[in-house]
Structure 1
Amino acid sequence: MATLKEVQLKIAAVKKTKQITKAMNMVAASRLRGAQVRMEGFRPYAAKFEEVLGNLAESAGEESNPLLIPREEIKKVHIVVCTSDRGLCGGFNANLIEKAEDLAKEKTDQGKSVSFTFFGKKARDWGRREKLAVKEFHLGVVGTSFSYNVASTAGKKLVSAFLDNEYDEVLIVYAEFLSMAKQKPTVKQLLPIPPVEKEETADAEGPYLAEHICEPSPEALLGEILPKSVDVQIYRALLETSTSEHAARMLAMDNASKACNDIIGNLTIAYNKARQAAITAELMDIVGGAEALKG
């Protein structure tokens, strides 16, 4: 059985750990508010951008731009994986890496070659450990206050490689922020740009849509907007992943603080038992000595 001193040292160590987890919880909560404001502010812009892009593509025709045309045979697949740079956020990174690993295995089993672009140290480390074909990686982005230029730079390289036939398909794996307790690993196609899905309505004729006059032509506008669509999707994925990381870390640190409370409670009970046993042993020695003197 542990001595009183050993139990006291364990209790002190767990209390210090609890202070650290509470501090990390507060830091994650503070960063989460800023990241969530940025993410929720960008969501309407991304949705409207996608809507305008869909209307232009419908007017110009899907074959008006090479970024809209699917390849007849897909041999080379490129996957962009978004993770965090730091740990201590539960199974957040493990779930994203597992999603990317399953996707890569699925494409490989179909006889396709797979390459990667990584955002985040955790994805980079996974790529090095598994000796994957890594084209590029970006560190110090997710989880910090990054600018749109990060997504724009990565998007231009992906579009250029797609047009040069280095990739036949580009996919992105990121964490979609659903709520404080749920962050869903999501796969989305970046290139070729998929058609916009329209909601079906009960009215056979559908709602009235005004016909817009485009200047310049829809084809010319698509040439400018389509590459930026890739940048918008990457930037949105990074914002979603950043917000999800802070939410996952906040929940993980909250659970760690609760676990510390449980451990302190159990150690306190063990300390009281050991202390009571020591007091009982001393009383028995005293009583035994008194009885011996009487005899």
Structure 2
Amino acid sequence: MASLKELRARIGSIKSTKKITSAMKMVAAAKLRRAQARAESARPYASAMRRMMAELAGATVGEEGGPLLLTGTGKDKIHLLVPLTSDRGLCGGFNASVHRLTERLIRRLQSEGKTVKLLPVGRRAISYFSREYSDLIVDKIMGIPGDVPFSVAEGLGVKINALLEAGEIDVCELVFNKFINAMSQVPQKQQLVPLVVEDAAETSAVADENKALYDFEPDEETLLFRLLPKNLQVQLYAALLETAAGENGARMTAMDNATRNAGRSIDSLSQVYNRTRQANITNELIEIISGAQAV
């Protein structure tokens, strides 16, 4: 059995940890409100961009010489996976869920004879995949600021577009956690290249008789060449905002659980401490009484 000194030290240590986890929970909660508002504000804009691309793409789908971001290279051999994670830990299984989904995709694609490349975003993704799949990594992005500036998505979009134009990839898929609420973040994948026009069209489906007619100036093809890179950046930015909101939600939940567990541990150790202290006092009294009787 531990001594009273050891129990006091352990209780003091857990109390200090409880203060830290409680403070981290409050900080994550404050950040979550801002991150959630930004992620929810970006969703309609990203959805509108997909609908716009669906309207414009009808004129060029299937034609030769179309934008690579829309039509792809015409092959399905080389796949680029872009896992998005946080830069920091202490957020439960938030990052591990992206790792698992990405690994499943890697194994499935490799079993089909496809070549897989990785472009991890976030320190946790870089650290994990550098250990497990270092030979697949073609580039990496780390050190994402907490406010997630659009320049991060812009730079990532430029990297993906450069790989596509150089013929180094045929398909690009994004793996990230979609923010639902503070308790739930759902890992999912989204194909970025080539653009999945059918999915975008379904989200904006309306009755044919109610569809508006558009006049495009300049023509649809010119607009696509200009807007497709911007659409790629917008989809990446929306995913980065979802990741930021999910990270803070997961961290708030994890720190709340840690604080509760610390409180239960303190209560349990306090009971042990009190029982041990009472037993020591009883033993001392017995020794004193026994000594007095012996005299």
TM-score, normalization by structure 1 = 0.93
The Cα shift of 1:197 comes to: 3.8
CA deviation digits over 1:240-273, x for unaligned, max 9?
Answer: 1111111111111110000100100110110011
In structure 1, distance between residues paired with 2:203 and 2:151: 32
Per-residue CA deviations over 1:32-59 (Å, capped at 9, x if unaligned) read: 1221121111111111111111111124
Q: Give unpaired runs (5+ residues) of structure 2.
A: none
Cα distance in 2 for partners of 1:241, 1:81 equals: 11
Q: CA deviation at 1:61?
A: 4.0
Partner SS for 2:56: helix
Change (3 A) 1:184 1:132: farther
Structure 1 residue runs of 5 or longer lacking an equivalent are none
Distance 1:152 1:62, change over 3 A: farther
Partner of residue 42, structure 1: 42
SS at match of 1:198: helix
Partner of 2:192: 190
Residues 227 and 200 of structure 1: CA distance in aligned 2, closer, same or farther (over 3 Å): closer
Q: What is the alpha-carbon distance in structure 1 between the residues aligned to residue 288 and residue 68 of structure 2?
A: 95
Whole-angstrom CA distance in 2 between matches of 1:282 and 1:153? 72
Q: In structure 2, what residue type is equivalent to 1:66? A: L
Q: Say which is worse superposed, 122-131 or 262-271, in terms of deviation.
A: 122-131
In structure 1, the partner of 2:170 is 168
The structural deviation recorded for 1:285 is 1.5
Structure 1, 265-274 or 126-135: larger mean CA deviation: 126-135
Instruction: Give SS of 1:135's match.
Output: coil
User: How far apart are the structure 1 equivalents of 2:36 and 2:98?
Assistant: 20
Q: Distance in 2 between matches of 1:61 and 1:103?
A: 27
**Letter paired with 1:114:** V
Residues 180, 56 of structure 1: alpha-carbon distance in 2 compared, 3 angstrom cutoff:
same
Deviation at 1:237, TM superposition (A): 0.9
Correspondence 1:1-295 to 2 at 5 A = 1-63=1-63, 64-130=66-132, 131-141=134-144, 144-195=146-197, 196-198=200-202, 206=208, 208-293=210-295
* Partner Cα separation in structure 2 for residue 236 and residue 125 of structure 1: 23
Q: Secondary structure at the match of 1:119?
A: coil
Partner AA of 2:140 in structure 1:
F
Counterparts of 1:199 and 1:94, CA distance in 2: 30
Give the Cα separation in 2 of the matches to 1:179 and 1:146: 19
| Residues 214/99 of structure 1: CA separation in 2 closer, same or farther (3 Å cut) | same
Instruction: Check whether the contact 1:116–1:132 (CA below 8 A) recurs between aligned residues.
Output: no
Per-residue Cα deviation, 1:168-202 (whole angstroms, up to 9, x for no partner): 1111111100111000111110101111241598x
Comparing 100-109 with 61-70, greater Cα deviation is found at 61-70
